[in-house]
């Protein structure tokens, strides 16, 4: 989870360098580097045109950072990753891996696609975007 905070701070610095206002919010108090996650505050940042970056998971055991992103974003998930989408296999090891343009919940579960963990898939349907 600490690595997600470091990545969030780096992403915030990169967005700030191109004049995009951002806030990093975390599940754990880290007042020197981020705000604690509070739903109303996250919405207020969006209303004011700021990008909210969520880090450090949910603060609960057995839930991944994907779950936190899905919970906090609810409809629009921007997941920074080293993949450019959801494939039916690992494109680094399988040159014929197929990149899905769109997916339904049923397709992600029946095809056992692993772009997001299963808990996050149950919360949100849109595909995540890469940066």
Reported as a single tens digit per residue, the pLDDT across 39-86 is 788 878 888 889 888 888 777 777 777 777 666 665 444 455 566 677
- Residue 65 covered by a domain: no
Number of independent structural domains in the chain: 2
Based on the fold, state whether residues 16 and 46 are members of the same structural domain: yes
CB 22 within 8 A of CB 15: yes
Quote the pLDDT of residue 61.
73
Statement to judge: residues 52 and 93 lie in one domain: no
Q: Which helix (H) or strand (E) holds 53?
A: strand 51-55
More confident of the two residues 34 and 69:
34
**For residues 71 and 123, is the Cβ–Cβ distance under 8 A?**
yes
Residue 73 lies in a domain: no
Residues 31-41, mean pLDDT to the nearest whole number:
87
Q: Are residues 47 and 95 in the same domain?
A: no
What's the CA gap between 78 and 16, in Å, rounded?
17
Domain limits for position 51: 1-56
> Is 8 part of a structural domain of the chain?
yes
- Which whole-number Å values give the CA distances from 57 to 23, 43, 64, 129, in the listed order? 16, 18, 6, 18
52 and 83 co-located in one domain: no
Report the DSSP pairing between strands 22-26 and 51-55: parallel
């Amino acid at each position: 989870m600490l690595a997600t905070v470091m990545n969030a701070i780096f992403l915030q610095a990169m967005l700030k360098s191109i004049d995009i206002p951002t806030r990093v919010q975390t599940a754990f108090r880290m007042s020197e580097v981020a705000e604690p996650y509070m739903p109303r505050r996250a919405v207020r940042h969006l209303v004011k045109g700021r990008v909210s970056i969520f880090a450090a998971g949910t603060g609960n055991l057995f839930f991944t950072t994907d779950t936190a992103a899905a919970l906090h974003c609810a409809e629009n998930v921007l997941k920074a990753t080293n993949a450019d989408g959801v494939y039916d296999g690992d494109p680094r090891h399988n040159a014929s891996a197929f990149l899905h343009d769109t997916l339904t919940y049923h397709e992600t579960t029946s095809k056992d696609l692993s772009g997001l963990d299963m808990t996050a898939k149950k919360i949100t349907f849109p595909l995540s975007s890469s940066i």
